[in-house]
Amino acid sequence: MTRVFSGIKPTGHLTLGNYLGAVRRWAEVEQYETEALFCVVDLHALTVEHDPARVRRLSRQAASLLLAAGLDPALCTVFVQSHVDEHTRLSYLLECTATDGELRRMIQYKEKSARARVSGDGVRFSLLSYPVLMAADILAYRADEVPVGDDQTQHVELTRDLAVRFNQRYGHTFTVPKATRPPVAARVMDLQDPLSKMGKSHEAGAGIVYLLDDADVVRKKIMRAVTDSGREVAYDREDRPGVANLLEILAACENGDPGELAGAYESYGALKKDTAEAVVELLRPLRKRHAALAADPGYVDGVLREGAERARGMARPVVDSAYRAMGLLPVG
């Protein structure tokens, strides 16, 4: 059976981008059709300025939201990265496989390190090594597929390179994984700045729909989305990024096609109104389930405990064999 691994960082509240680009598919497709693991990757949240109490809170919230989105612990494994030591054990071996040059080429590293420099925060060394830890997350489980949004393609490419290199040098150890992406909305853009990704760590929230926003807040944000100067509704990501973004969001909600939907609208206002209602309806059941789960943290903690145990059992033998392959002396 195909094995799938994916993760989400507890660096902020989950957004519509996270949901449409990744989580929704995990819940609707992957958990049924594959052997799937979904991970709250808390160690990754420490690569930028962070508040410990907030990361802790957001980790539990992210796990609750994954369950609220429909992940069923009877069908897939949901756990927290720091609960399974194999990730960091393997990460070091992969640091000895990766080169400084290939890590410095990562687009996210370039963007985030530039931002950290501007804001006067130091650039943490872990920000550079981050994609290696991500590779460890994936390779420790011999995952075949990694369902992610567009922004993670380069990191998954690096993971493939590291797996191939390791296998060639030290003997076949890892499965070479591939990224998979949703048919539409693989990159949901910020509603106020449709040239930038809708990202949960961004400061201003006006262009970001959070999964836990009230329905009225969702409506307001979408109705105020920046559109383009043209008047007729056309699907053109280059020249009409704002309208294209709305069309993609609507298409994702309705399992439709953004190009076809464009033909059904005569005004931006009508498009915004329908998109707002579609998003509100999409998120309604999720918000309801989340409220119930938030009231029962013991249940969520139990799911995470069992998930970590299962994950550990899967990763342990793979990472042990990587240790041996690389020349480390086994405990006698």
Could you say whether residue 59 binds ligand AMP (CB under 6 A)? no
List Cβ neighbours of 266 (8 Å cut-off, separation of 6 or more): 232, 233
Q: Which of 4, 5, 8, 38 binds ligand AMP (CB under 6 A)?
A: 8
Rounded Cα distance between 88 and 104, Å, is: 20
Q: Which is nearer to ligand TRP, 136 or 222 (CB)?
A: 136
Residue 134 partner contact from ligand TRP, ligand AMP, none using kind-dependent CB cut-offs of 5 to 8 Å: ligand TRP
Strands (E), the chain: 3-8, 35-40, 77-80, 145-147, 178-180
Shortest Cβ 144–ligand AMP spacing (Å): 16
Letters for 138-157 (x = contact with ligand AMP by CB under 6 A, - = none) are ----------xx-xx-----
276 binds, among ligand TRP, ligand AMP, none (CB under 5 to 8 A by kind): none
Contacted entry of ligand AMP, ligand TRP, none for residue 188, CB cut-off 5 to 8 Å set by kind: ligand AMP
- In degrees to the nearest 10, what's the CA dihedral of 113, 116, 117, 118? 120
Q: Does 9 sit near ligand AMP (CB under 6 A)?
A: yes
Alpha carbons 257 and 275: distance in angstroms, whole number:
13
Of the candidate residues 17, 177, 241, 242, the single one contacting ligand AMP (CB under 6 A): 17
Partner in contact with 69, chosen from ligand AMP, ligand TRP, none, beta carbon below 5 to 8 Å by kind: none
Please pick, from the candidates 78, 188, 262, 308, the single residue that binds ligand AMP as defined by CB under 6 A. 188
Would you call 221 a catalytic residue per the annotation? no
Is there a catalytic annotation at residue 9? no
By the rule CB under 6 A, 18 interacts with ligand AMP: yes
Task: Confirm whether 178 is a catalytic residue.
Answer: no
Active-site residue, from 9, 110, 178, 197 = 197
Q: Which stretch binds ligand AMP (CB under 6 A): 15-23, 209-217, 223-231, 303-311?
A: 15-23
Percentage helix, strand, coil for the chain under 3-state DSSP, each rounded to 5: 60, 10, 35
Q: Which residue has the tokens 């691994």?
A: 5
Across the beta sheet with 35-40, the strand order is 77-80, 35-40, 3-8, 145-147, 178-180
Reference 69, options 219, 282, 307, 255; nearest CA is 282
Residue type, position 154, single letter: Q
Among residues 36, 136, 198, 303, which is the contact residue for ligand AMP, using CB under 6 A?
198
Partner from ligand AMP, ligand TRP, none contacting 146, C-beta within 5 to 8 A by type: ligand TRP
DSSP state letters, 246-277: HHHHHHHHHT--HHHHHTT-S-HHHHHHHHHH
Q: Which is nearer to ligand TRP, 134 or 261 (CB)?
A: 134
Catalytic center residues:
112, 197, 200
